[in-house]
């Protein structure tokens, strides 16, 4: 990374004036947007100004055919980058029609859980298979049963699993939160923890005091999803969507779901749970009580 971008990255991780530090994934994305803009600016002979940003966006949209959501993410990064340089521009993000998140239906969840824990129901299962099944059960309980983000799951510490039914979570921007969970979630995590005595993390890495990487967890879970015959679009974050949609389907108040998912805005929670609302409307339409009266 170039020295200027290294300084920018440092400012994002260690901001002044009490601002919240950016997550590593955000730092990486913002620096990539800054790098691409600098390369474009150098090639076009531009500057850190409105006209060059507009030309950069036109290049993304008309030449490279970048999706509106991705263009918006680049603009978010450039606003931060320009602020770091004492500059600014006035350009709104392109409008994006947000797709309703996919979430697991009840039969899909049942199939996923059955595939993950099959070895636990087989009397002749070998110890390595039993261990893997306990790991997979703990993982899907963390992501579906508690609605954790991918990074929150791998960073979960043993001391943060409270037997009384709560998980202490380090979320976005190193913000701590508490998630209430069912007893089955705690049991699944505790049984996996027993297999790793002395570990700091619930999902320990190969080296003492470390946890498995988000990339490794993501790959393992994708393999599980394919084994369970779930659609290609299903990923770890889908389990978080499913958790929110499930709570909504059970008429849990939006504010409670917001607290559980630790969304800063309730609008995000509404978007997460929109699929459950639409499914409930479909059920009402199928019932058709007014059509039956005609």
Its CATH class, for the domain covering 3-84, is mainly alpha
Cβ pair 23, 60 in contact under 8 A: no
H or E, element range at 161: strand 161-162
* Predicted confidence (pLDDT) at residue 236 exceeds the cutoff of 70: yes
Strand 176-180 versus strand 166-170 pairing type: antiparallel
Distance, in Å, from the CA atom of 134 to the CA atom of 143, rounded to the nearest integer, reads 14
3-state class (DSSP) for residue 49: coil
41 C-beta neighbours (distance < 10 Å), count: 17
Beta bridge partners of 204: 211
Can you read off the two tokens belonging to residue 223?
Answer: 């393999």
64-101 pLDDT tens trace: 888 888 999 999 999 999 999 999 999 888 876 666 77
List the single range of 106-110, 154-158, 256-260 with lowest mean pLDDT. 256-260
Domain map of the chain by residue range? Answer: 3-84, 106-282
3-state class (DSSP) for residue 135: helix
* Predicted confidence (pLDDT) at residue 158 exceeds the cutoff of 60: yes
H or E, element range at 286: helix 274-287
Count Cβ atoms within 10 A of the Cβ of residue 59 and give its class: 0-12 exposed, 13-18 middle, 19 or more buried.
Answer: middle
CATH topology agreement for domains 3-84 and 106-282:
no
Cβ pair 80, 46 in contact under 8 A: no
Distance, in Å, from the CA atom of 253 to the CA atom of 276, rounded to the nearest integer, reads 13
207-225 pLDDT tens trace: 989 999 999 999 999 999 9
Q: Under 8 Å CB-to-CB from 291, ≥6 apart: which residues? A: none
CATH 2.90.10.10 fits 106-282, yes or no: no
Mean pLDDT taken over the chain? 87
What was the pLDDT predicted at 269? Answer: 74
């Amino acid at each position: 990374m170039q020295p200027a971008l290294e300084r920018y990255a440092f400012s994002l991780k260690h901001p002044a004036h009490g601002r919240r530090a950016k997550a590593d994934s955000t730092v990486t994305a913002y620096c990539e947007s800054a790098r691409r803009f600098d390369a474009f600016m150098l090639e076009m002979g531009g500057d850190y100004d409105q006209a060059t940003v507009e030309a950069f966006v036109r290049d993304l949209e008309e030449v490279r055919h970048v999706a509106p959501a991705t263009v918006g993410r680049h603009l978010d990064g450039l606003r931060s980058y320009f602020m770091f340089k004492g500059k600014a521009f006035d350009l709104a993000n392109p409008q994006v029609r947000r797709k309703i998140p996919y979430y697991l239906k009840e039969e899909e969840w049942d199939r996923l859980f059955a595939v993950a824990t099959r070895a636990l129901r087989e009397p002749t299962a070998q110890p390595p298979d039993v261990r893997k099944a306990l790991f997979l059960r703990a993982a899907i309980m963390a992501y579906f049963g508690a609605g954790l983000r991918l990074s929150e799951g791998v960073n979960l510490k043993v001391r943060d699993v409270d037997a009384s039914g709560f998980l202490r979570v380090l979320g976005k921007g190193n913000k701590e939160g508490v998630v209430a969970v069912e007893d089955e979630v705690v049991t699944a995590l505790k049984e996996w923890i027993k297999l790793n005595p002395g570990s700091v993390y619930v999902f320990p890495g190969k080296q003492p005091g470390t946890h498995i990487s988000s990339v490794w967890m993501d790959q393992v879970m994708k393999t599980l999803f394919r084994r369970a015959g779930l659609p290609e679009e299903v990923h770890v974050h889908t389990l978080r969507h499913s958790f929110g949609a499930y709570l909504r389907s059970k008429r849990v108040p939006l504010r409670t779901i917001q607290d559980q998912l630790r969304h800063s805005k309730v609008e995000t929670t509404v978007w997460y749970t929109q699929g459950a609302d639409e499914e409930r409307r479909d059920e009402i339409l199928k019932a058709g009580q007014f059509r039956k009266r005609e």
